[in-house]
Structure 1
Amino acid sequence: MPVLSDRVGTFTDSVIRRMTRINNQYHSINLSQGFPDFDPPKELLDTLAQTAYKGPHQYAVTFGAQNFREALAKKTSPALHHEVDPNTEVCVTCGGTEAMMAAMMTICNPGDKVMIFSPFYENYGADAILSGAEPIYIPLVPPTYEFDLSLIEKGFAEGAKALILCNPSNPCGKVFRRDELEAIAKLALKYDAFVVTDEVYEHIVYAPNEHICMASLPGMFEHTITCNSLSKTYSITGWRLGYLIGPAEVIEGARKVHDFLTVGAAAPLQEAAVAGLEMPQSYYENLCALYTEKRDHFLAGLDRIGLKHNVPQGTYFVMIDISDFLALPQFAGWTDLQFCEWMIREVGVAAVPGSSFFREPVNHLIRMHFARGTDVLDEAVRRMEKLTALLK
């Protein structure tokens, strides 16, 4: 067999999706891969049912159906402080994953440098490699996940083309403050660089934290490529509807990349999803209230059984510290991946090893999500009492 490309040997398969596959073998409670276990809004389901008979069932315009792009522009313009042009500043993609890949391939030449905060959603490193870029990792330091701004300036000064910013941040739940975003924006403008944002959790932010779009800051729309998705906001992760918003010149390039990556997102799903984009403000307020309740309930359960964790400011993920367990003789020399695999088999709860998110040698954290029903979360906590019993 001919030798495969070098790039495929430089990253692994998705550890997140791998943990789901192992979870399914043992029928444990899946708190690893972050998808909700409840239905989308009724308005979307009703529209989807109608679309099944009425169509469209053939290709939409490759970069997004007209009515879907118009609905996206109307929804996003207020948060971006910019009147988004649906005809020149929007590209619809097959999920936020493709949006990020299309953005990277649009702006990066082989050998360009791209900064990525660590911990990071695992796709970002692979996206950089696949686009030929060299990733530079900027630590977000646990437990508060602060960063050193001088490292970002150093990266830009050394020619970094862009910084990838996930806000709110998966996996750690950090919501970037206005002063942090303004400091990053100042450097991006100074060095004439891009900020590529992933804002898929924009509506899952816990008070008193506030989500601020990087593109809304003065001068930053022209320097920001906003990647987003409908997956988490409307509980439709399987619909794979994402989008890019940015300056017309960037979007023109991204549309070319997108066309040859996937041709286009599913036409009937775009038609049905317009109903979601037209939901009133109360929908987003209720969504935030729902996840606030889930977060508080799950964290209270973790506290009750004595598991150490951070308090996420956004997203539906929590990082749990397993240092005390790895110090036990029966786990001596174990990695966090081995511990997570053991948890699935012996405890019946699936998590993601934190090392898959960190560039640094972090082996003592695991990620869980709480986008599940209260009864499921309660059962997961009950099962994890087996863990804390080991420390007694």
Structure 2
Amino acid sequence: MTTPGGTGLVRDLTDEQARAALVCKWGLVEPDVLPAWVAEMDYAVAEPIIAALQEAVALGRTGYPAFAAGGRLGEAYAGFAGRQFGHDVDPGRVIATVDVTAGVRLALDVVVPPGPLVMPVPAYSPQLALASMCGRERRDLPVDPEAPRAELDLDRLEHEFARGARVLLLTQPHNPWGRVFTRAELEGVRDVVTRHGGWVVCDEIFAPLPLGEHEHVPYLAVEGTAEHAVGIVAASKAFNIAGLKCAQVVTGSAALHERLASAPMARNDSWSVLGVEGSVAAYTEGDAWLAEVRRTLTARRDEFAALLAAELPLARMRPLEGTYLAWVDLRAYGHDDPAARALEIGRLQISAGHDFHPGLTGHARINIATSADRLAEVVRRLRLSLT
């Protein structure tokens, strides 16, 4: 099944296919539970990626990858970044890593001096533990849940750097806010950071998925960021290949690249050769599929907003500018943990808001990357659970 007006490149998985393919999202729930939680899409993998993986396996390409920066992967990502974002990336400064979270740890451990880490919250929940894992204090930069649009509090960020913070961990497009930050917003971040001699580690895993009219601006594409920032990117979320285990660390500075590239192998040694093959195929042959998946997700976003307005009119969804993860304020329905109620009553698995912002009640993150029919069922089950 494809989106009306689509090209047919993006294909909805049936329930049976989804259970076979998405062993986490669909496999970790009971058979009667509809999953709309973990960040995977209920769509078949793009054909060029499947073909590349089949060819690699047929050749027996299942050993170690090439342990060097640049190469085919660097060339592929640089070409993709130029076409998609207008970002001029040096292919030789693209370093493979196992996944984005590992790339963030690598940057924090190897490049950023000791000191506190500023974390905008709500935040991608596994990253809430990164500061302590890297021996740093975490200082939260919260978004006011009453604000109509999630924005970075630059005054608060300035305050945190003034009192000793060393690095901002910036996720953009943001998970779970769904924000695609503008160039002007990123320039504001740059100005604060440079005034205090600070650093930015930028998780841009959802960079290929701005929705509608929105456009992603890589932080490293902003003038004056090269000497204080490391970007971590991947094809994993946009092309549904997280299990292939391959992300990329990108720098705009020869000195920073050298520090990362010369890190001991034990810090960065576990990416997959098949991940490289899949990523190269995505970056070099996936543009048409990606354009179609953006159109599909934009349609799902608009359908989801309309369904909420009709069936749960007290729900408040933040503007979803990128990703496929809707951040929804359900406090008006009077339940501190709407995700728990959705699972118990509606047999619907969504993500609890307090997992992304400890102590925050009444919110949920909902994955909309599914078929139109399933999305309607998500909202029906949510209404049954909350009203």
Q: TM-score range by the shorter chain?
A: 0.7 to 0.9
From 109, 117, 128, give the equivalent of 2:120.
117
| Aligned pairs for 1:195-274 within 5 A | 195-246=200-251, 247-257=253-263, 259-261=265-267, 263-274=269-280
Corresponding residue number in structure 1 for 2:21: none
Corresponding residue number in structure 2 for 1:103: 107
Q: Deviations over 1:118-165 (max 9, x none)?
A: 111122221111111111111222341123211111122223221111
Q: Deviations over 1:325-358 (max 9, x none)?
A: 32xxxx5xxx42xx42332122011111111111
Question: 1:106·1:253 contact (CA, 8 Å) conserved in 2?
Answer: yes
CA gap 1:240/1:315 in 2 versus in 1, 3 angstroms: same
Cα separation, 2, equivalents of 1:267 and 1:83: 25
Corresponding residue number in structure 2 for 1:370: 368
Question: 1:92·1:242 contact (CA, 8 Å) conserved in 2?
Answer: yes
Cα separation, 2, equivalents of 1:238 and 1:299: 30
Corresponding residue number in structure 2 for 1:341: 340
Aligned-pair CA distance for 1:22: 10
Aligned-pair CA distance for 1:51: 0.9
Question: 1:79·1:212 contact (CA, 8 Å) conserved in 2?
Answer: no
Q: Determine whether 1:174 maps to 2:179.
A: yes
Question: 1:23·1:344 contact (CA, 8 Å) conserved in 2?
Answer: no
CA gap 1:314/1:216 in 2 versus in 1, 3 angstroms: same
Q: Determine whether 1:160 maps to 2:165.
A: yes
Residue type of the alignment partner of 2:331: S
Question: 1:37·1:373 contact (CA, 8 Å) conserved in 2?
Answer: yes
Residue type of the alignment partner of 1:181: L
Aligned-pair CA distance for 1:78: 5.8
Aligned-pair CA distance for 1:381: 2.2
From 20, 45, 48, give the equivalent of 2:53.
48
Corresponding residue number in structure 1 for 2:330: 322
Residue type of the alignment partner of 1:134: E
| Aligned pairs for 1:63-142 within 5 A | 63=68, 66-77=71-82, 83-87=88-92, 89-110=93-114, 112-142=115-145
Structure 1: state its 5+ residue gaps: 1-18
Structure 2: state its 5+ residue gaps: 1-23
Q: What is the SS of the residue equivalent to 2:168?
A: strand
Question: 2:82·2:89 contact (CA, 8 Å) conserved in 1?
Answer: yes
Corresponding residue number in structure 1 for 2:310: 304
CA gap 1:211/1:273 in 2 versus in 1, 3 angstroms: closer
Cα separation, 2, equivalents of 1:74 and 1:315: 22
Aligned-pair CA distance for 1:232: 1.4
Cα separation, 2, equivalents of 1:57 and 1:357: 36
What fraction of aligned residue pairs are identical, expressed as a percent? Answer: 23
Cα separation, 1, equivalents of 2:340 and 2:288: 40
Aligned-pair CA distance for 1:102: 1.4
TM-score (norm 2): 0.85
Aligned-pair CA distance for 1:41: 0.9
Q: What is the SS of the residue equivalent to 2:202?
A: strand
Corresponding residue number in structure 2 for 1:9: none
Question: 1:206·1:313 contact (CA, 8 Å) conserved in 2?
Answer: yes
Aligned-pair CA distance for 1:226: 0.7
Cα separation, 1, equivalents of 2:286 and 2:40: 23
Cα separation, 2, equivalents of 1:325 and 1:237: 35
Aligned-pair CA distance for 1:25: 3.6
Cα separation, 2, equivalents of 1:357 and 1:79: 29
Aligned-pair CA distance for 1:237: 2.1
CA gap 1:184/1:239 in 2 versus in 1, 3 angstroms: same
CA gap 1:59/1:231 in 2 versus in 1, 3 angstroms: same
Cα separation, 2, equivalents of 1:371 and 1:357: 19
CA RMSD across the alignment: 2.4
Aligned-pair CA distance for 1:96: 1.4
CA gap 1:378/1:81 in 2 versus in 1, 3 angstroms: closer
Residue type of the alignment partner of 1:370: I
Aligned-pair CA distance for 1:303: 1.8
Aligned-pair CA distance for 1:206: 2.4
Task: Number of aligned residue pairs: give it.
Answer: 359
Residue type of the alignment partner of 1:323: R
Aligned-pair CA distance for 1:272: 3.6
Question: 2:121·2:142 contact (CA, 8 Å) conserved in 1?
Answer: yes
Q: What is the SS of the residue equivalent to 1:250?
A: helix
Residue type of the alignment partner of 1:291: L
The answer to which of 56-65 and 211-220 deviates more is 56-65
Corresponding residue number in structure 2 for 1:357: 356
TM-score (norm 1): 0.84
CA gap 1:377/1:81 in 2 versus in 1, 3 angstroms: closer
Residue type of the alignment partner of 2:168: L
Residue type of the alignment partner of 2:37: S
Residue type of the alignment partner of 1:324: A
Q: Determine whether 1:187 maps to 2:192.
A: yes
